[in-house]
Chain A
């Protein structure tokens, strides 16, 4: 684990203690391989029996001749059920992870997750309200996204005091907005029809990719991909923002504007993700940590590492969710059950090495 300790030495993106680029290349090759393998395994696994060779042939057909009509059940299962689901899980996981990575940098706090800005709870409110009103499908997705954005705008208004915002007021405003929306979601659950909308809301709040279709991928993908790409383009800025305020300013950063730019991108990503798959916890906090332990604090490496790891992890988690039992297991349950122990092991190793020095 020497790369980890070296990675730790590379605090705050100072170039001196970084792992060498060749080692980084190897690490990234491993991440990429992990992602590819998990995508393939996921496409071949499922409750409906499709032989692996047939599944691989179908995947090849889907990639080379996407317009071929799909008549047989196994063709539709692999190309219309599994593939959009796997793609959506990977995109959402990568998006959530990169959001967590960026926010942990901006707030200079490893405990931050994408929930902190109140976007998830705002989006949850939009979804719960839509289900209550009997709205589903694309109008539901739109309501969720708009509510998530509205939450960020609210946080912005609350956090801006005499024309400027401190990170601490952002965190507190996020907390306030989160709590208010969480309370309204509880209220909606309280008045929801116990035989129809209530179980739907509860299930939706626990997160799932079970309703993934290509149409949903097309809706969520632009926000997820663009958001992640723009965050990646801010990697140098994030390295500066992760320094303390005075230092960042002395390096010419317009900290406030750049912070809000990051927040807006996070809102686009989280809003897109929640809209199509409900609330998914843990990924935005666990994956950036894992990435940081493996490649160091420099956002130039940490952001792409988070994306790859997040995508792979979420794909694996979702594969478990839909294959282990005949019943769909809510994602939130598995991300916590799998994510928490991994997180604990990483954290212990990290501190053991630090104190071992």
Chain B
């Protein structure tokens, strides 16, 4: 990325002369060499780092925990979105990495408006921002001379794309390859097996991205959870919707889904919400006890994350217990060891899978500790 005269001038006016001097010197003479990292981001901009970054800020939510997984620790994450931070500190990552609570989250508003001064204060070498959020939330970063990587959201391809960029940017190419290979391998395994399931044997599943304040379901476009559901062998009961939109209970009754997946975002939401509702409790899903809240692991399992393959396995085992026999507890232990260098205890797994809240749901016994 080249810095034009006007940008340099603007930044020199804004930033303290000393910091400005250091940055200008660094920009003026990039040590071209084997260490240099160059890639094209998802807004088609060239991102150039003189050496792998040791200090990264994620204004976007998902990349924060991606970075922790890619690096196997929190050291390189020096700032994140407040929403990402609450997910990290409240979930199991807070237990694995207690130091994460000290990572600043004042670098951005939850709605991705960067605070350039707070950003400059943590002195990042790379800042991750959305590529479709509008120039006014990106320009302040580039104008301040910060190297910025823009990413897009929604599909597995994009997820692998930005995970790859992030992994390269921090110089963790080997870990990156392991993470991506795992995703590809599980995905292919699932796709091969679901391909042989006849369409009419795929249960019609409904994913409620919001439930308590107003109810919103995910249709066919642009929702990762919906894509995961189909990968795991479901048909989307709300396929007639485009995007994630508000719906009413009468519509759910009309769809009469075979399975209901509840989001992991709303902390107070669990399957009892469905069973207590006069309408939802009469759906096939409720009658057959097939209402499941998505787990909350290193990140929520509904949006794309480093743990997505676990989420797919969980769904596939629930949707087609006759076809899929993943040993989820073993897979989770293995994955957490790779991702976070952490040995999951059985109680940890029960917490992630909400066994206390939904242990008596249909097909959930397979996820419980085996009494041998």
Nearest residue in B to A211 (C-beta to C-beta)?
B214
A134 to chain B, nearest CB (A): 7
CA of A191 to CA of B238 in the docked complex: distance in angstroms?
31
* Complex contacts, B247 vs chain A, CB 8 Å: 326-328
Task: Answer yes or no: A190 CB below 8 A from chain B CBs.
Answer: yes
Task: Answer yes or no: B110 CB below 8 A from chain A CBs.
Answer: yes
Nearest residue in A to B212 (C-beta to C-beta)?
A136
* Complex contacts, B2 vs chain A, CB 8 Å: none
Nearest residue in B to A78 (C-beta to C-beta)?
B250
> Contact check: which of B210, B240, B267, B279 meets A76 at CB < 8 Å?
B279
* Complex contacts, B278 vs chain A, CB 8 Å: 70, 76, 80
* Complex contacts, B254 vs chain A, CB 8 Å: 47-49
> Contact check: which of B241, B248, B282 meets A210 at CB < 8 Å?
B248
Task: Answer yes or no: B245 CB below 8 A from chain A CBs.
Answer: yes
Complex interface bits, B214-233 against A, C-beta within 8 A gives 1, otherwise 0: 11100000000000000000
Binds B, one of A109-117, A194-202, A230-238, A340-348: A194-202
B249 to chain A, nearest CB (A): 6
* Complex contacts, A204 vs chain B, CB 8 Å: 213-214
Task: Answer yes or no: A192 CB below 8 A from chain B CBs.
Answer: yes
Q: Are B213 and A198 in contact (CB under 8 A)?
A: no
Chain B stretch 248-266: residues in CB contact (< 8 A) with chain A? 248-251, 253-254, 265-266
Q: Are A322 and B248 in contact (CB under 8 A)?
A: yes
> Contact check: which of B241, B245, B250, B265 meets A47 at CB < 8 Å?
B250
CA of A137 to CA of B266 in the docked complex: distance in angstroms?
14
Q: Are A192 and B111 in contact (CB under 8 A)?
A: yes
CA of A192 to CA of B112 in the docked complex: distance in angstroms?
11
Contacts A47-B254, A195-B265 hold; do A76 and B282 have CB atoms under 8 A apart? Answer: yes
CA of A189 to CA of B113 in the docked complex: distance in angstroms?
12
Contacts A194-B112, A196-B210 hold; do A328 and B265 have CB atoms under 8 A apart? Answer: no
Chain B stretch 194-222: residues in CB contact (< 8 A) with chain A? 210, 212-216
Q: Are B245 and A193 in contact (CB under 8 A)?
A: no
Q: Are A192 and B250 in contact (CB under 8 A)?
A: no
Task: Answer yes or no: A73 CB below 8 A from chain B CBs.
Answer: yes
Q: Are B214 and A210 in contact (CB under 8 A)?
A: yes
Task: Answer yes or no: A90 CB below 8 A from chain B CBs.
Answer: no
Nearest residue in B to A278 (C-beta to C-beta)?
B214
Task: Answer yes or no: A28 CB below 8 A from chain B CBs.
Answer: no
B239 to chain A, nearest CB (A): 10
Q: Are A193 and B250 in contact (CB under 8 A)?
A: no
* Complex contacts, B241 vs chain A, CB 8 Å: 326-327
Of the candidates A77, A82, A195, A204, the one having the most CB atoms from chain B within 10 angstroms of its own CB is A195
Task: Answer yes or no: B246 CB below 8 A from chain A CBs.
Answer: yes
Q: Are B268 and A134 in contact (CB under 8 A)?
A: yes
Chain B stretch 69-107: residues in CB contact (< 8 A) with chain A? 82-83, 86
Task: Answer yes or no: B339 CB below 8 A from chain A CBs.
Answer: no
Counting contact residues on chain B (CB < 8 A from A), the size range is: 35 or more
> Contact check: which of A81, A134, A200 meets B210 at CB < 8 Å?
A200
Complex interface bits, A176-187 against B, C-beta within 8 A gives 1, otherwise 0: 000000000000
A219 to chain B, nearest CB (A): 17
Q: Are A326 and B240 in contact (CB under 8 A)?
A: yes
Q: Are B267 and A47 in contact (CB under 8 A)?
A: no
> Contact check: which of B109, B246, B251 meets A203 at CB < 8 Å?
B246
B108 to chain A, nearest CB (A): 11
Task: Answer yes or no: B61 CB below 8 A from chain A CBs.
Answer: yes
CA of A192 to CA of B210 in the docked complex: distance in angstroms?
15
B153 to chain A, nearest CB (A): 11
Complex interface bits, B103-136 against A, C-beta within 8 A gives 1, otherwise 0: 0000001111100000000000000000000000
CA of A211 to CA of B212 in the docked complex: distance in angstroms?
10
Q: Are B111 and A198 in contact (CB under 8 A)?
A: yes
Task: Answer yes or no: A131 CB below 8 A from chain B CBs.
Answer: yes
Q: Are A131 and B111 in contact (CB under 8 A)?
A: no
Complex interface bits, B267-291 against A, C-beta within 8 A gives 1, otherwise 0: 1100000000011001000000000
Of the candidates B86, B112, B250, B278, the one having the most CB atoms from chain A within 10 angstroms of its own CB is B250
Q: Are A80 and B279 in contact (CB under 8 A)?
A: yes
A68 to chain B, nearest CB (A): 14
CA of A203 to CA of B210 in the docked complex: distance in angstroms?
11
Of the candidates B112, B210, B278, the one having the most CB atoms from chain A within 10 angstroms of its own CB is B278
Of the candidates A193, A204, A330, the one having the most CB atoms from chain B within 10 angstroms of its own CB is A193
Q: Are B110 and A208 in contact (CB under 8 A)?
A: no
CA of A136 to CA of B247 in the docked complex: distance in angstroms?
18
Q: Are A199 and B216 in contact (CB under 8 A)?
A: yes
CA of A197 to CA of B212 in the docked complex: distance in angstroms?
10
Q: Are B265 and A77 in contact (CB under 8 A)?
A: no
CA of A193 to CA of B83 in the docked complex: distance in angstroms?
6
* Complex contacts, A200 vs chain B, CB 8 Å: 210, 213-214
A324 to chain B, nearest CB (A): 12
Nearest residue in A to B256 (C-beta to C-beta)?
A73
B26 to chain A, nearest CB (A): 33
Task: Answer yes or no: A46 CB below 8 A from chain B CBs.
Answer: yes
B370 to chain A, nearest CB (A): 35
Contacts A322-B250, A327-B241 hold; do A77 and B215 have CB atoms under 8 A apart? Answer: no
* Complex contacts, A47 vs chain B, CB 8 Å: 248, 250-251, 253-254
Q: Are B253 and A326 in contact (CB under 8 A)?
A: no
Q: Are B245 and A328 in contact (CB under 8 A)?
A: yes
Contacts A203-B246, A326-B240 hold; do A192 and B110 have CB atoms under 8 A apart? Answer: yes
Nearest residue in A to B244 (C-beta to C-beta)?
A199
Q: Are A193 and B110 in contact (CB under 8 A)?
A: yes
* Chain A positions near chain B (C-beta within 8 angstroms): 46-49, 70, 73, 76-77, 80-82, 131, 134, 136, 189-200, 203-204, 208, 210-211, 322, 326-328, 330
- Further contacts, 18 of them, CB under 8 A, given A195-B303, A326-B238: A47-B253, A47-B254, A48-B253, A73-B282, A76-B282, A80-B278, A81-B250, A81-B253, A82-B250, A136-B213, A190-B109, A190-B113, A193-B83, A194-B111, A194-B112, A195-B265, A203-B214, A326-B241
Chain A to chain B: the 10 pairs with minimum beta-carbon distance, closest first: A200-B213, A327-B245, A328-B246, A48-B254, A210-B248, A47-B251, A47-B254, A196-B265, A48-B253, A48-B250
Residue pairs across A and B with Cβ atoms less than 8 A apart, 11 shown, are A47-B253, A73-B279, A131-B213, A191-B109, A200-B210, A203-B213, A210-B215, A211-B214, A328-B245, A328-B247, A330-B246
* Chain B positions near chain A (C-beta within 8 angstroms): 61, 82-83, 86, 109-113, 210, 212-216, 238, 240-241, 245-251, 253-254, 265-268, 278-279, 282, 303
